[in-house]
Amino acid sequence: MKHILLVEDDVAFSEMLKQFLQRHQNKVDVCYTLEKASSQIKTQNYDLVFTDLRLPDGDGIVFLKEIKSNIPHIPVVLMTSYAEVSTAVQAMKQGAFDYISKPFNPDEVLEVIKNALANKKPEPTPIPNQTKKNSTKSTTEFVKGISAASKTLNEYIKLVAPTSMSVLITGESGTGKEVVAKNIHLKSPRHNKPFVAVDCGAIPKEIASSEFFGHKKGSFTGATDDKIGHFEAANSGTLFLDEVGNLSYENQIQLLRALQERKVKPVGSSSEIHVDIRLVTATNEDLLVAVEKGDFREDLYHRLNEFSIKVPNLKNRNDDLILYADFFLDKANAQLNKSVAGFSKEALNIFQNYNWPGNLRELSNVIKRATLLTSTEIIDVDALPTELSQPKENHIVSNKFSTKENEKVLIINALEEVGNNKTQAAKLLNITRKTLYNKMKEYHIN
C-alpha cells in the first residue's frame, strides 16, 4: 500500500479523489492549505504528492520547490483547472514528475501514479557534513516533452534502445532525428562507445566508399594518407546515417554488403576489417515510395527498418512548445553570453499560433536571433521575425522537402526567392549548404 499526500482546497473534489485512490489500495492524507501540507510532510513518509496549483495560502509550485529542496526523492504531480502550457513547463522545470488538469480521466490518474512510483528515486543515505550541490543539466540535448506524441516517442526509444535492432527514424526536416538517434545510443549498452553521425546527403557518391570504409595511402589521386572510414570509427558503438535515402544505388549495394557481412575493406586494401556496430538511420523521404520506384533497394530497406520511429513535427507537439522554447533560450544564453529570463505573454501567443514548418530547427534559430536582439530580461514581439505573426501564404518553407519529385522545383524556387544566395537557400530548405551544392549538381541546376 502506497502513502499519498493530497493537497487540495476543494473539499468535495478532494474527498472524491481520496475515495478513488483508496479504492485502488492507497493510503491517502488530505490537506487543504500549504501551511498544513508543509507541516504534514515533515512528520510522515510519503510515496507520492498530489498538489493543486492554486491554494488559499499560496502557490502549489512553491510547495513543489520546498519538497524538491528538502525531500527530492518524492515524486510530485501538479493538478490544476488552469491548463496553461507555460505553467506546466514551469512545474516540470522545477521538478514536477507530471502535470494533469481537471477534470481527470481515472485511467490517466492511475497511469500517472504507476509511472511516478516506477520512476521514484530511492531516498539518499545522508552523509555527515555533505554539502548540497546544484543539479546539472543532462549532457544530451533530448527534451522528453509532456505531449502525448512525445510520450509515445519516449516509450519507443526506451523499448528499442537496449536491443541491437537497426532503427529507421523518419520525420520532417528539423524535427530532431539526430537527437533521437543520440538518445537511443545513450540508453543502449553501447553508451560509452563511439557515436558517429554521417550526413549521407553531403557525401558525393564518387567518394562514398572512402568515407564509409576508409582508404589506404596512394589508393587514388589525393589519398595522401591512410584514412579510417565511418564504419571503423564507430566500431563497438553506434553509426548514425542521416538522409540515408540520398545514397546512390551503387553505394546502397556497398552498404548492404557491409551490414550483412559485418566487415569492410578500405579502398586500396587487400584485407578486411571486422566491425561491430549498431546502425541507426534517418530520412525525411518515404523510402517505401523510393523502393517502389526502384530508387532504393528493398533488401536494404528491410535491413535498416527492423524497428521504425516517426518523430512528430512541432505542430503536433503543441504542449511541448514552451518547454522547447525554454530549452533553446538556455542554449542561446550560454552561446551568446546573455541572461534573458523568458518570453512575454504576447510572444508566447505568437509561438503557439504559428505553424512552425521548419520544426525545432526553426524554433531554435528564431529564439537564438531573438536572444541576440533582446536587451531586456524578456523576449518580446519586436524581437521576433515578422513572418511568425504574418506568415506568407504558400511560402517555400511550408513545402515538405521530402520527395525527389519536387526537390528540383523547391531548390529552384528557393534560389529565386533569395536572389541565388546559396547559404540563405539552404537555410530556407532546412538542409546544409553542402547538401544543397550536391543536389544542385545532381539536378544540373546552374
pLDDT digits (tens, 9 = 90+) for 187-199: 999 999 999 999 8
Mean pLDDT, to the nearest integer, of 257-284? Answer: 90
Q: Judge whether 47 and 74 are in contact, CB under 8 Å.
A: yes
CATH class of 2-118: alpha beta
439 Ramachandran zone, left/alpha/beta (phi>0; psi -120 to 50): alpha
Of the candidates 37, 36, 135, the one whose C-alpha atom is nearest the C-alpha of residue 95 is 135
Side by side, which strands form the sheet with 307-310?
195-199, 238-242, 278-283, 167-170, 307-310
351: CB partners within 8 A, 6+ apart: 321, 322, 325, 343, 363, 388
Residue with cell 534517418: 282
Q: Which of 7-16, 132-141, 245-254, 263-272 has the lowest average pLDDT?
A: 132-141
- The SS3 call for residue 86 is helix
pLDDT-derived band at 83 (thresholds 50, 70, 90) equals: very low
Task: Report the C-alpha gap between 204 and 435 in whole angstroms.
Answer: 9
Out of 3.30.870.10, 1.10.8.60, 3.20.20.70, 3.40.50.2300, which CATH number does the structure's domain 314-389 have? 1.10.8.60
C-alpha atoms less than 13 angstroms from C-alpha of 103 in its C-beta half-sphere: 4
Q: pLDDT digits over 351-407, tens only?
A: 988 989 999 999 999 999 999 999 988 899 999 998 888 755 444 444 444 445 567
CATH 1.10.8.60 residue window(s) in the chain: 314-389
43 Ramachandran zone, left/alpha/beta (phi>0; psi -120 to 50): alpha
Task: Report the C-alpha gap between 276 and 397 in whole angstroms.
Answer: 39
Out of 3.40.1000, 1.10.890, 1.10.10, 3.30.420, which CATH number does the structure's domain 396-442 have? 1.10.10
User: Looking at the domain 148-310, which fold is it?
Assistant: Rossmann fold (3.40.50)
Of the candidates 371, 369, 318, the one whose C-alpha atom is nearest the C-alpha of residue 341 is 371
CATH 3.40.50.2300 residue window(s) in the chain: 2-118
